[in-house]
Structure 1
Amino acid sequence: MKTFPITAQDEALIKAAQDIISSLYAQDKHHVGAAIRTKSGKIITAVHVEAYISRVTVCAEAIAIGKAISEGEREFDTVVAVRHPYGDEADREIKVVSPCGMCRELLSDYGPDIKVLVPYNGQIVKCDISELLPLKYTRE
C-alpha cells in the first residue's frame, strides 16, 4: 500500500474526531466520530447516527461530508473515523478505524483524491481512497 507521512494537521484531525465522539458518545446511539479536513483547511466533525434497524444507520463520515457540503465546502483533503469503546469494553482507548465499504464509495465520489487515515499493520497510515477502493465502479 502506498502511504504518505502523517503530519501535525493529521494528528489534529484525529484529535478533532476523538473530541467529538468523546463529548457526544451515547451507548447504542453514537460510538463513531469522524473529522474531514477540506482543501481550504476547515475541519468538519460529526458522529454517526445508529438506528435499531441497522440499515437505517448513517455513518459519521457520511454525515461529515453532508455537513461540509451544507456549509459550502466541496473539496476534501483528508478524513478520519474513530471508534469509542462501548461501556463494557476493558480497552478504553478511542481508536482510528477504517471506513466501511459504503463510506469508501461515498468518499471516493465526493473526494476522488481524498486521503484517508486508517489503521494498518499496527500503526496509523495515510493513503489515497483509491487504495481502499480499487477498481471502483463507474458507468464506463
Structure 2
Amino acid sequence: MIATDVTPVPPPADMAPGDVELLDVAQRLLSKVWVAGRHEVATALRTPDGAIHTGVHLEGSCRRSSICAEGVALGAARGALAPDAPLTVDSVVSVQIKPAGRFRIIAPCGVCRELISDYSPQTRVWITTVDGAVTAMAAIDLLPEKSRRAW
C-alpha cells in the first residue's frame, strides 16, 4: 500500500474548523511517514495558544518499547512551553490507516487516555465509537472512575 493513495476520513459535521485542521495535519503526517508495523498512527493536538503539535507512533522490536503517537505529541507540546507553564491541551485527533486503504479516527489507548487526562482532563478527544460514529469526548470521560492525582 502506498500511503499517499489512502482515502481521507471526512470530518464529521459538528467538528469545528480548528479540529478539522488537526485531522488534516494528522492525515498528512501519517501519509508521509506510514510504514506497516512501525509507524501506524499519527496525532495532532492543539494547545490554548493555538500551536499544533504532532506525534507519530514508534513501534519497537519488543512491544514494550513502543511509544504511542499521543505521548510523542504531548511531549512535543510540553517541550514547547516555558518551564513553569502547565501542559494544557484543547483538542486531540489521532488517525490510523485501515487495511481497506482508508484513514480512520481512533481513540487513544488506555495508557494514553490516562496520560492526556492526567495533564489536561477537559481536553476534547475525537474518537470513533464502536457503532462507527465519530464524536468528541472530554479526556476524563474516557476513563470512568479515574482516580485524580494532584501534580
- Category of TM-score, reference length = shorter chain: 0.7 to 0.9
Give 1:8's aligned residue. 17
Quote the offset at 1:49 in angstroms.
0.5
Give 1:82's aligned residue. 95
Quote the offset at 1:41 in angstroms.
1.1
Quote the offset at 1:92 in angstroms.
0.5
State whether structure 2 residue 60 is matched by structure 1 residue 39.
no
TM-score normalised to the size of structure 1? 0.88
Describe how 1:43-58 pairs up with structure 2 within 5 A.
43-58=52-67
Describe how 1:23-34 pairs up with structure 2 within 5 A.
23-34=32-43
Quick one: distance in 2 between partners of 1:79 and 1:92? 23
User: SS of the counterpart of 1:81?
Assistant: strand
Describe how 1:55-70 pairs up with structure 2 within 5 A.
55-70=64-79
Root-mean-square deviation (Å): 1.6
Give 1:93's aligned residue. 102
User: SS of the counterpart of 1:127?
Assistant: strand
Quote the offset at 1:135 in angstroms.
1.0
Quick one: distance in 2 between partners of 1:68 and 1:93? 28
TM-score normalised to the size of structure 2? 0.82
> Residue deviations 1:66-100, cap 9 Å, x none?
01111117221010111124xxx3x1111101110
Tell me, which stretches of 5 or more residues in structure 2 are unaligned? 1-13
Quote the offset at 1:139 in angstroms.
5.4
State whether structure 2 residue 137 is matched by structure 1 residue 127.
yes
Tell me, which stretches of 5 or more residues in structure 1 are unaligned? none
Higher-RCO chain (CA-CA 8 Å, sequence separation at least 6): 1
State whether structure 2 residue 30 is matched by structure 1 residue 21.
yes
